[in-house]
Amino acid sequence: MLEPADLRAAALLDSQVQERLPTVERATAPIYRDEPSRPIPSGSAVMLRIDDHRFALTAAHVADNSASFPLYIGSSTRPVRLSGTKIATKLNPGQRREDDPLDVAVIHLDGETTRYLRDDEFIDVSQIDAGPLPEDEIFLVAGYPGTRRRDIPTKATLEVTLYPFLACSRPRAAYARVR
């Protein structure tokens, strides 16, 4: 049984998550790769607006799929072909993406993609705090893990669910490796 102080802390944390979740959900989109038999969930992207430019921030291993399959963003109205200029973390010779410690890609979306996406599906760069995180700051990350998809063959439907994850910043010393 949780102590009353723990219950109050959990209730406060839950209220903070519930307050932020609609914004995170609105700007987080599932990415699918288009295979001949059906779309396959491939990852997630955070949709970002900087002035008149639109970007999808995703994992480099997700963006790398575009070399083999067309990728689509799940928008609020329909799947939209993901096209634009991709910039991803560089791999050293002989390095595999699984060994990439950053695994980050940014796709500068072209007009053919953005014309089908609503402006409210993006967060503005002003909503991002790029400064150092204070210690013990709680923040919310969300995504559409491909391992959590559900195929419904009778309805020819693929269901994906947004999974929120909580994280807490710590001082750099907390991450020091023990030798």
- Is 80 exceeded by the pLDDT of residue 140? no
User: What would the mean pLDDT of 121-130 be, rounded to a whole number?
Assistant: 80
- Is 90 exceeded by the pLDDT of residue 16? no
Instruction: Map tokens 């689509």 to a residue.
Output: 72
- Is 70 exceeded by the pLDDT of residue 45? yes
pLDDT score recorded for residue 65: 85
pLDDT 10s digits, 85-116: 999 999 999 999 988 888 999 999 999 999 99
Q: Which stretches within the chain are classed as H helix? A: 4-26, 60-63, 111-114
Looking at per-residue pLDDT, the higher value among 81 and 6 belongs to: 81
Contact residues for 131 (Cβ-Cβ < 8 A; gap 6+): none
Which residue in 36, 47, 123 sits closest to 80, CA to CA? 47
Domains and CATH numbers, the chain: 21-175 (2.40.10.10)
Q: Is 27 left (phi over 0), alpha (psi -120 to 50) or beta?
A: alpha
pLDDT score recorded for residue 56: 95
pLDDT band at residue 47, thresholds of 50, 70 and 90? very high
Contact criterion met (CB below 8 Å) for 80 and 117: yes
Which residue in 122, 101, 105 sits closest to 50, CA to CA? 122
Q: Are strands 138-143 and 71-74 parallel, antiparallel or unpaired?
A: unpaired
Q: Are strands 138-143 and 79-81 parallel, antiparallel or unpaired?
A: unpaired
**DSSP state letters, 52-64:** TEEEEEE-HHHHG
Question: How far apart are alpha carbons 122 and 47 in whole angstroms?
Answer: 5
Instruction: Map tokens 């209220």 to a residue.
Output: 15
